[in-house]
Amino acid sequence: MTDAPVVHCTGVSKDYRGLRPLRLLDLVVQPSDRVVLSGIDVVAAEVLTNLVNGFVLPDQGEVRVFGRPTTDITDADAWLASLDPFGVVTARAILLDAYTVRDNVALSLTALVDPVDDDLVPQVDAIAREAGLDDAWLTRPLHEAPAPVRMRVHLARAIALDPTLLLLEHPTAALEAPDRAAFADDVARVATARGLTILAVSQDREFARRVATRHLQLHPGTGALTPLALG
């Protein structure tokens, strides 16, 4: 890692067959910054995640992550190795409803979850608790879990491998208002304890108020970013 911005997008344009391309004129995310972007839909949020993690390249402009252009990643092995600093919180991630909450959290650490190895259980349970999951849910099948529990499973899996950068795609979209605030507080607590850098896409102003150090509104036609008040 370097002292360079964690994420720096300059003059970026990426066509994803939406109404218009995803454009980012100048996005800079510094270490320990917590940036929430509004004005990006669900599909474009996935595109942004894939631009930042190097899975796709911009049609125009440059994406640098930890000071390195994503165009420097030239093969599959290098790309897989480059994913180590990332944790992603997204409802797109596959969860196994027939397995327990503990099993689903453990999938970030091992492929053997039926049952989870006894030696691994304390680590898995500690990660689950850190993400705000109550012990009572750990041994219950995931299909019984409501949306707030499922989102915390996504959060637990995202932090399990000690990432530096946490990417979140509309993390409170499926939650009711009281649950959004509680989940936002858990994200902020985890980020503070771990010193994480956050880049989140969300239309939820309360989430931004509770989590962000900066809340930015994207103007999709131009790619310009306007600061929004956090109060």
C-beta of residue 215 within 8 angstroms of C-beta of residue 228: yes
Angle between helices 147-159 and 121-130 (to 10 degrees): 120
Average pLDDT over residues 51-69: 96
**68-89 residue pLDDT tens:** 999 998 888 888 888 889 999 9
Spatial distance between the Cα atoms of 143 and 230, rounded to a whole number of angstroms: 36
Residue 201: the pLDDT is 98
Q: And the tokens for 122?
A: 């304390």
Closest CA to 44 of 184, 187, 169: 169
Q: pLDDT band at 1, cuts 50/70/90?
A: very low
**95-109 residue pLDDT tens:** 999 999 999 999 999
**141-162 residue pLDDT tens:** 999 999 999 999 999 999 999 9
Residue 2: the pLDDT is 56
First CA to last CA across the chain, in angstroms? 33
Residue 77: the pLDDT is 81
Spatial distance between the Cα atoms of 108 and 160, rounded to a whole number of angstroms: 6
In sequence order, what are the residues at sequence separation of 6 or more whose Cβ sits closer than 8 angstroms to the Cβ of residue 78?
A: none
- What's the pTM? 0.95
Beta bridge mates, 88: 167
Residue 129: the pLDDT is 98
C-beta of residue 203 within 8 angstroms of C-beta of residue 38: yes
Q: pLDDT band at 192, cuts 50/70/90?
A: very high
In angstroms, what is the C-alpha Rg of the chain? 18
Helix (H, G, I), strand (E, B) or coil at 210: helix
The b-or-e profile of 108-118 (16+ CB within 10 A means b, else e) is bbeeebeebee
**CA contacts within 13 A on the Cβ side of 185:** 8
